Every structure is written in structure tokens, then in C-alpha cells.
Amino acid sequence: MVKNFSYSNASMAAVISNAVAALVLVASTSYAAPPMPPDPSLTGQPLKFMADLAPEEESHVVHSPATGFGEFTLDRETMMLSWRITYDKMTSSVIGAHAHGPQSPGGNAGVLFPLAKGVISSPINGSFIINEGQLEYILTGRVYINIHTEKYSDGELRAPIMRISADSPAQ
């Protein structure tokens, strides 16, 4: 024989609420996620990068004899990106130097972080703690360096930051 049970809406809501609470309690206490292994990319030797700056890399027309080169080192544990950028033969005073990204091929991108502040002269030395997203952009070639001058406020020298393999000598 099948019996029909009749519950009021309040009684049914209480039963359901108690059942859900019990399931949540069991789920939260009976399963502990295993500890995550350390990220292997954050151990070992620092990562090295370079940027070979040239006027021809700009997305607009630039007539300049300027040249430049940047060396970058990433401390994997602290995510501190340090750099030394040199340049020569600029057409006018440097008014800004930035890392831009994420760039789409052939396009421009916003400033990710400044490379220098105040009066800027060569060499530019600095450092900045980057996040995982910025590291991903750098590793995939989507971050570029842009040095802006009074004559070329949109940029006179530009280059992508490229990873240097452990076997490659830096310039």
C-alpha cells in the first residue's frame, strides 16, 4: 500500500533546507583538496629577455637615426622584472618610456607599467613587480617597449620584449 504524505509549504521548505545544509556540511568536511605542487616556472634561474629598439618598429612613420637596446631579468620567486635600457641619437628629449601591452599584431596597446619617471636619460634602469597575466603577455610576445620624445610623442623607438634562451648571448 502506498501512503500519500501531505506537507505544508513551510514544512517542505524546512526539510529541503535541512537536507541542503547537511549536504554542504558533509561536502565541506569530507573532502580536502590536495596541496598544489609549487609552480616549476617560479623556480630555478632568472628568466632573461631583450628588446632591440628601432624607429621602424613604431606603428607610425618615424624618421630618426635613434637606436636602443634593453636587457630584462625576471626573478621568478619575487616576480621582480628588472631592466637596463640604453638608447642613442634621439631626435629630441625623451619624455616617456613605458612597457605597453597586451598588443595585437600590428597594433598599439595601453601602458602596462612605466620604465622611468621624471627626467629620463640613457641608461634607464628600473624594476617592477609583475603579475601572472603580465608575465603571460611577455612570454607570448605581446608586450613592447616604447620610448617617447618631444618630436615623436607617440614613440620614437619601439621593440617587443623577447625571451632569450639560456644558450643565447645578450648584446
At residue 123, φ and ψ (nearest 5 deg) are: -85, 155
Measure the CA–CA gap between 19 and 12, rounded to whole angstroms: 11
Indicate the pLDDT class of residue 10, thresholds 50, 70 and 90: low
pTM > 0.75: yes or no: no
pLDDT at 52 over 80: yes
**Better-scored residue on pLDDT, 26 or 149:** 149
Mean per-residue pLDDT over the chain, rounded? 83
pLDDT for residue 56: 95
Q: Which residues in 79-117 are b (16+ Cβ under 10 Å) and which e?
A: eebebebebeebeeebebbbbbbbbeeeeebeebeebbe
Question: Which residue, 58, 119, 122, 112, is CA-closest to 84?
Answer: 122
Choice between 6 and 28, residue whose per-residue pLDDT is larger: 6
pLDDT for 54-92, tens place per residue?
999 998 899 999 999 999 999 989 999 999 999 999 999
pLDDT in tens, 115-146: 999 999 999 999 999 999 999 999 999 999 99
pLDDT at 100: 96
Instruction: Set out the domains of the chain in order of their start, with CATH numbers.
Output: 40-164 (2.60.40)
Question: What element of type H or E holds 72?
Answer: strand 67-75
The Cβ of residue 152 has, within 10 Å, a number of other Cβ atoms equal to 23
pLDDT at 20 over 70: no
If DSSP codes are grouped into helix, strand and coil, which group holds residue 104? coil
Give me the pLDDT at residue 45, please.
86
- What local confidence, expressed as pLDDT, does residue 119 receive? 92
Q: What is the pLDDT of residue 104?
A: 82
Alpha-carbon torsion, ordered 119, 121, 126, 128, to 10 deg: 60
User: What is the per-residue pLDDT for 166?
Assistant: 65
What's the rounded mean pLDDT across residues 5-21?
57
Please check the confidence at residue 32 and state whether its pLDDT lies above 50: no
5-14, 110-119, 148-157: lowest mean pLDDT where? 5-14
Q: Residue 2 carries which side chain, given as an amino acid letter? A: V
Single out the residue of 140, 143, 137 nearest to residue 158, CA to CA: 143
